[in-house]
Each structure stands twice: as structure tokens, then as C-alpha cells.
Amino acid sequence: MATSQAGIFITFEGIEGCGKTTQSDMLYNYLIGQGYPAMFTREPGGTPVGEAVRKILADTKHKDMLPITETLLFSAARYQHVNQVIRPSLEEGMIIISDRFADATVAYQGFGRKVPMDLIRELNQVATWGVWPNLTVLLDIDPVLAFERLRGRLEQTSQDLDRIEQETVEFFRNVREGYLQLATDDPARIKTVEAAGDPDEVHQRILDLIRPHLRAYGRPQKINL
């Protein structure tokens, strides 16, 4: 990592409906409850520019968006996020939890949209500025179960599926394969967690992965922001 990092950078990945948002939130609350200086952020998003880009990417009006345009937009949002939020917060010693990061571009745009991997690697290098997570929790789930969860949420909130959520099950199978390949290629950083089951059980599995990082971090520190 190119930054003089004092904090910990944890990312959550997986296909839609795997429970990333639920589990990021549970981990954030756990860390805050234990007195750690934790923050939650997300991609695309995490900055005003990134949130504006997120709206464009989600908008079902943009069905004609080309795969490389999509890749560039995710990368642009990431560059802003790393430079405005992630890097400075890590230097201050924060524990950052991000709902998605650069692995998502490899899985979705690389394995899902078939954008050439060389281009994705190059863009990720620019966008991350060499800042990579200490730990990535990959919540693995069958796309059919994930879609049942999403349907449940849609019924509760009356929200529509966004542009990417409207993709086929086949697309999400490719994305899932991509994530599993990434975990095989980088087992020290990317830990696969079974996402089926009770949210509290999943949370416990994640805490088991986080504890060694917390031990290395030391006791909760007070950060002057």
C-alpha cells in the first residue's frame, strides 16, 4: 500500500442481495460499541461526486450505457473516494468499512460485462492510488437466494430494481464466479464467508476474521477529527 497507513481498511463484496449492507452495518455498530474509531462508506459513492455518479449508474434510463463507459464511471467515483476519504482517514488511524471497492470492478465489469482485464487492472491502479484493503469479506451466495432476498426488500420498500439489478441471473452467476476467482488468487486478503443463514451467525463468522486485525491495531484509540 502506498500510504503511511495507521488504520484498517475493510471491504465487503458479493453479488446484490448477499447482505453486504446489513453486515457492514452490524460490523460498524460492533466496532463503535467497542470504542474503535470506525467509519462506514460505500462505492459507488462516499463523496458528493461519487454519490452523483452513483445516481447516473443506477438510472434505468441509461440502458444504452457501454461497458467501458460504466467502468470509467465506477473508476472516477473511486478515485475521488480514495483521495477525499479513504486515504486521509487511514492516515488518521480510522477503521474504514466500505460496502464495495475495486474488486467489484473486476467481478462486475470484468467477469460480468467482459471488459478486458488489462484495462480494468490499469484503471484500478489509477483509481485506488495503490490503496488496497487489509481485509475483504466476500459474502458468497447463490444468485437465486440473493434474488429472493431482494424481492423481499422490494415488497417492503416499494423500490424498483436499479439498472444493474435488472441484469439476468446468468450475469450474476458470472460475477459470482469472478469473485470466487479473486478469492482463490488472493487468499490472504479476500476471505469468503457463507452468506446464507441468520444475520447474527454471519456476523459472528465475520468477527472471527476481523479479530486478528484488531489485535494488530491495538486498543481503541481516540482520534481528533
Q: What is the DSSP string of 25-65?
A: HHHHHHHHHTT--EEEEESS-SSHHHHHHHHHHH-TT-TT-
Site for ligand T5A in 50-79 (CB under 6 A): 74
Q: Which of 8, 10, 19, 90 binds ligand T5A (CB under 6 A)?
A: 19
Q: Which of 7, 37, 43, 137 binds ligand T5A (CB under 6 A)?
A: 43
Say if residues 40 and 99 touch (Cβ distance below 8 Å). yes
Binding mask 141-180 for ligand T5A (x = CB under 6 A): --------xx-xx----------xx---------------
Binding mask 100-139 for ligand T5A (x = CB under 6 A): x---xx--xx------------------------------
Distance in Å, CB of 53 to ligand T5A, minimum = 10
Distance CA 81, CA 62 (A): 23
Q: Using the rule CB under 6 A, is 7 a contact of ligand T5A? A: no
Distance CA 153, CA 150 (A): 5
Q: Which is nearer to ligand T5A, 43 or 140 (CB)?
A: 43
- At 207 the three-state DSSP class reads helix
Q: Using CA atoms in the order 164, 43, 62, 15, what is the torsion angle rounded to 10 degrees? A: 0
- At 97 the three-state DSSP class reads strand
Distance CA 74, CA 82 (A): 12
The letter for the amino acid at 88 is: P
Q: Using the rule CB under 6 A, is 140 a contact of ligand T5A? A: no
Measuring CA to CA, which residue among 78, 94, 186 is closest to residue 129? Answer: 78
Q: Which is nearer to ligand T5A, 11 or 134 (CB)?
A: 11
The stretch among 14-22, 121-129, 130-138, 216-224 that binds ligand T5A (CB under 6 A) is: 14-22
Distance in Å, CB of 188 to ligand T5A, minimum = 22
What residue ranges bind ligand T5A (CB under 6 A)? 14, 16-22, 43-44, 74, 99-100, 104-105, 108-109, 149-150, 152-153, 164-165, 197, 199, 202
